[in-house]
Structure 1
Amino acid sequence: MNKKIALIGCGIWGQNILKELVNLDAEVHIYEPDVSLHEKLITLGAKSFQAGLPAVEDHFDGVIIATPSSTHRKILEEIAELELPIFLEKPLTINLEDALALENIPTDDIYLMHIWLYHPGIIMLQDIAKSGELGAVHGVRSTRANWTSPRKDTDSAWNLLPHDITIAKAILGEIPKPKSAVTEEHNSMIRGMTALLGDEPYAVFEVSNRYERKIREVRVHCEKGVAILEDEKVDYIKVVHGDDKSDPNELKIEKRVFEKTPPLHFEVKEFLDYLNGGDPPRSNFSDGLEVIKNIHQLLELAEHKI
């Protein structure tokens, strides 16, 4: 059954969401303050365009929010009366105070759009870790870097770290306890962080908007080998077999190919399936709050004044 969706926010990423919704036969109604986008969004398949927020009498099946992270608390509070399932772009908020305040509204039907949870490569890494085929998992290492950022309402820690924390939890089954962190700041704005969480298994994150090239690498280090997603756009996992005593001249590498369907397709489809009676999306409000608490702890460890 086709569903009637209110899409709040339709900038660059929101337009990608709109396209997927339309491809999946949803009826999409846009709520976007930039009225100059009206004609473009209708052309992309939106049923209607308004500048405000949806009302109870509009009778939607669900809401997707793709606005700047700094607006999430205010919007969630204002639309709580709709009592509808909500799919919210990560992160939940950009500070712990706002995240905790949201516990005052109904949160049972709020879900987070953590797109990497739907990436076939991350799912393959998760399966490798769980299978034990490479022995015990020692830890996860991830690098997420590029030059500057289009996000102007928050810093690089709040923008980038939610991805890596969520990926680590998906692979390890939990978020290791934050241990230490170092930030790089420019004009009092965090533009990079290197963080260490846990012991065994551990998680090591490097996020930065000071790299001249884009890097999206996730590595799972195990007792008998290392499994690597080298980039978000490749269609394979590289598995390097061996332990710490392996002969470097006898490197054994295999590539495991996965289906290269964009993860946004799976993510949007899961929400629509849920509205049609399927399982709920895989990241809920509690998961989103846990991510915010961990970023807050890492910033405290870096002695950043919050």
Structure 2
Amino acid sequence: MKPRIAVLGCGYWGSNHIRTLKSLGALYAVADANQARASAFAVEHECLTFSPDVLIERKDVDAIVMALPAQFHAEFAIRAVEAGKDVLVEKPIALTVPDARRAVDRAHELGRIFMVGHVLRYHPAFEKLKELVDAGELGKIGYIHSHRLGLGKFHMENDALWDLAPHDLSMILAITGEAPVEVHGQGAALLDHLSDFTHLHMRFPNGLKSHLFASRLNPYRERRLSVVGEKAMAVFDDMEPWDRKLAIYRHAIWQDHGQWAFSQKDADYPVVEQGMPLTRELEHFIHCIQTREEPRTGGEEAVRVLEILTAGTIKHN
């Protein structure tokens, strides 16, 4: 039996979850502060609808996907797990580390699944990249850099770092397997007091370094993660066609008579299984509900991401 999953929050990301859960046969109900909006989705997708407060207490709801403004996530997540629900909380799961920690700890205390919506961890190209890194195909990793650029969306509460960087930080943490020991952020605000451009620099315990560039005021879109290893470099470029989203560049670097020399082969494009990341994410959530397995993107990872965002946030007057 598939779990009966409700979506709390029928905005942009909530609507994506609604459609995808419907396609998976797991959508049971929807809720939103705007009852008319929730009712419209309920009619379209033939499911139940309740107010947010009623939804939390319904005994016939097994799990809730939360796609609310971030300031409400921790409160509703705690209420949901205390009512016996498993939760998938969209990023960011809170606006402060203490709020995030309370929600995650409460879920663990009660034995509930707490999963965070770091959807790019479920992208087949990233999954293949992670597989190659774990198999040692790239050699020792020395540097990771990520660029996430474009025009919009603009928020009154979140800057470019908080809005755009969580997915990339999740991927970087998955590759490094540890939290950074040093985080330094630089930003620029053009529209108001929130950064529209952010550079984030990190250093990890094993010496690996990483930087992330996020911008919501850029004339072109870029969605690229590059991993530099001793034997090869990998680029996950989500703007490329499917058969070129993951490129592997094998190289050699050596000293010859006191000078550096190098060679590089043409890019290899590993075969990447096609699939929608959100569908795979929600399939994983369903699997975790059924098996009680710890999610790949669990609460502890979400807290680590928030710690980095907090450390790298730039205050503008």
**Normalised TM-score (structure 1):** 0.89
Mapping 1:93-242, distance limit 5 Å: 93-102=94-103, 105-107=106-108, 108-109=111-112, 110-186=114-190, 187-198=192-203, 200-231=207-238, 234-235=241-242, 236-242=245-251
Aligned-residue identity in percent:
20
Q: RMSD over aligned Cα, in angstroms?
A: 2.3
Please state whether the residue corresponding to 1:22 is helix, strand or coil.
helix
* Maintained 8 Å contact 2:9/2:32: yes
The Cα of 1:173 is off from its aligned counterpart by: 1.6
Contact 2:7 2:31 in 1 (8 A): yes
User: Can you give the 5+ residue segments of structure 2 that lack an aligned partner in the other structure?
Assistant: 254-260
Cα distance in 2 for residues equivalent to 1:274 and 1:246: 46
Shift of 1:150: 4.8
Q: How does 1:232-271 map to 2 (within 5 A)?
A: 234-235=241-242, 236-244=245-253, 245-247=261-263, 251-271=265-285
**C-alpha separation between the residues in 1 aligned to 2:3 and 2:81?**
20
Q: Partner letter of residue 60 of structure 2? A: H
1:59 to 2:63 alignment: no
| Distance (whole Å) between structure 2 residues aligned to residue 27 and residue 59 of structure 1 | 12
| Distance of aligned partners of 1:135 and 1:274 in 2 relative to their CA distance in 1, 3 Å threshold | closer
Letter in 2 for 1:145: L
Would you say the 8 A contact 1:121–1:258 is kept in 2?
Answer: yes
Show the counterpart of 2:75.
Answer: 74
Q: For 1:46 and 1:219, how far apart are their aligned partners in 2? A: 43
Q: State the one-letter code of the partner of 2:211.
A: V
Structure 1 counterpart SS, 2:161: helix
Contact 1:121 1:237 (C-alpha < 8 Å) held by counterparts: yes
Preserved CA contact (<8 Å) 2:63 2:86: yes
User: Structure 1 residues 1-10 or 150-159, which shifts more?
Assistant: 150-159
Q: Structure 2 vs 1, CA of residues 150 and 21 (structure 1 numbering), >3 Å: closer, same or farther?
A: farther
1:288 corresponds to 2:302: yes
Question: How many pairs align?
Answer: 301
Counterpart amino acid of residue 221 in structure 2: K
TM-score by length of 2: 0.87
CA contact (8 A) 1:89 1:112 kept: yes
Instruction: Describe the SS at the equivalent of 1:295.
Output: helix
Per mean C-alpha deviation after superposition, the further-off stretch among 202-211 and 273-282 is 273-282
1:89 corresponds to: 90
Q: How far does residue 142 in structure 1 lie from its aligned partner after superposition?
A: 0.5
Q: Is the 8 A contact 1:239 1:253 kept in 2?
A: yes
What is the rounded CA distance, in whole Å, between the counterparts of 1:100 and 1:112 in structure 2?
13
Q: Tell me what 2:257 maps to.
A: none
